[in-house]
Structure 1
Amino acid sequence: MKTTIKTLLVLAVVFGTAAFTTSTIERKEVKEGTITWKGKKILGSHTGTIDLKSGYLEMDGDALTGGEFIVDMTTIVCTDLEGDTKGKLEGHLKSDDFFGVENHPIATLTIKKATKSGNTYAVTGDLMIKGVTESIDFDLEMGDSGASTSVKVDRTKYGIKYGSGDFFDSLGDNAISNKFELDVVLKF
């Protein structure tokens, strides 16, 4: 009987204390975000931008614990070309050969885990492009009013195989790298 009462008292204290514990999770909404992309091919590269639709980081004190970002894929713009060539590349990137924005107008990143070392976090997240979700790892530099990262994404993991030497023979100088780069700057 004494053991039962002691057990009940210990449980009451544990659950009672948990009820009064307050969460310190703060949501840092992104006020401004810049996403610059770079795609490479054998004989050169192209650069451009994509708009961040919305995003936030979840912070527990000064520790990053999560976050989510939504990218408007319909806003893909090429910044290194002009005129008809620019329009053709942008149209091709928006087509089903690449990002299929008519059926997949957004891409998302959800932060699942972050490990801090100084001002840098080793982040693991789920990146969804064209309805396909894959885990991705990258480093995120944090400051008081913003954050930045450079991420390399293997497009073939998301079913984007156009021009890939891994899937098509005889591409020669027309082969396109499987990885594209994203440079992201966030302001809170």
Structure 2
Amino acid sequence: MKILKIICVILITSPLLLSAQTSTLDIQNSNLKWTGKKITNSSHYGSLKFKSGEVNFSENLISSGKFIVDMTTISVDDIKGSGKSRLEGHLRSDDFFSVENFNEAILVINSSEKNGDNLKVMGTLTVKGLESSVEFDMKKSGNSWTADLTFDRSKHNVRFRSGSFFENLGDNLILDDIVLNAKLSFN
């Protein structure tokens, strides 16, 4: 009787097991780019590296997932020399991402739905220990995926020259939206 129950459980759950697929991020062949803009339309851009990532696919949708970004790897790609080093240090400081205290940013994917040829992904982004809900599109491109996510830095207490915290900044205002563009390859 016990064996019969075990067989029944296996038969009932096996379609669920077959339809779900876990894929691990290939961090060597994946990349993450960021862009921040000022009110004057000037901008800075750079990159970050992933520590890890994993998604669970079920019925051609992402049912769950988690990506961890190493904030200590934040780099500036649009300037060189001492200006590059100075800005990278400033981005790691308490004015921006407090990397000494918060060396990881985490994106947890809660669900997704079809949006034309793309997936509309819903999740929770944690930066500087503070969470915010995010929605973004992911698109399959060959064996990889692309994702474009914009998040509001003020929701994560990234205050430097933010109009959400300070008035009368004029041309010194840095916009709250930070744009992330990812190319994701999975094993």
Q: TM-score, normalised by structure 2?
A: 0.87
Distance (Å, rounded) in 2 between the aligned partners of 1:136 and 1:90: 25
Identity of aligned residues (%): 37
**CA separation of 1:173/1:111 partners in 2, compared to 1, >3 Å: closer, same or farther?**
same
What is the identity, as a one-letter code, of the residue corresponding to 2:21?
E
RMSD: 2.0
The total of aligned residue pairs comes to 176
| CA displacement at 1:91 relative to structure 2 | 0.5
- Verify the 8 A CA contact 2:61 2:119 in the aligned structure 1: no
| Equivalence for 2:111 | 113
Mapped contact 1:119–1:143 kept (Cα < 8 A): no
Q: Which residue, 72, 75, 83 being the options, matches 2:73?
A: 75
Which amino acid counterpart does residue 77 of structure 1 have in structure 2? S
Residue identity opposite 1:42 in structure 2: I
Q: Whose radius of gyration is greater, 1 or 2?
A: 1
Compute the displacement of 1:118 (Å): 4.4
1:182 paired residue among 176, 180, 183: 180
Do the aligned partners of residues 166 and 61 (structure 1) sit closer, same or farther apart at CA in structure 2, a change above 3 Å counting?
closer
SS of equivalent residue, structure 1 residue 90: helix
Please report how far the alpha carbon of residue 33 of structure 1 lies from its aligned counterpart in structure 2 after TM superposition: 1.4
Give 3-state SS (helix, strand or coil) of 1:151's partner. strand
Unaligned runs of 5+ in 1: 1-14
Residue segments in structure 2 that go unaligned for 5+ positions in a row: 1-5
2:33 to 23, 27, 36: 36
**What is the Cα deviation at residue 61 of structure 1?**
4.4
What is aligned with 2:150?
A: 152
Deviations 1:76-132 (A, max 9, x none): 000011111111110010011111110100001111010024431111001110111
Amino acid across the alignment from 1:171: L
- Counterpart residue type for residue 145 of structure 2: A
Match of 1:7 in 2: none
Which of 19, 44, 56 is equivalent to 2:54? 56
Match of 1:46 in 2: 44
* Cα distance in 1 between the residues matched to 2:55 and 2:117: 15
TM-score (ref. length: structure 1): 0.87
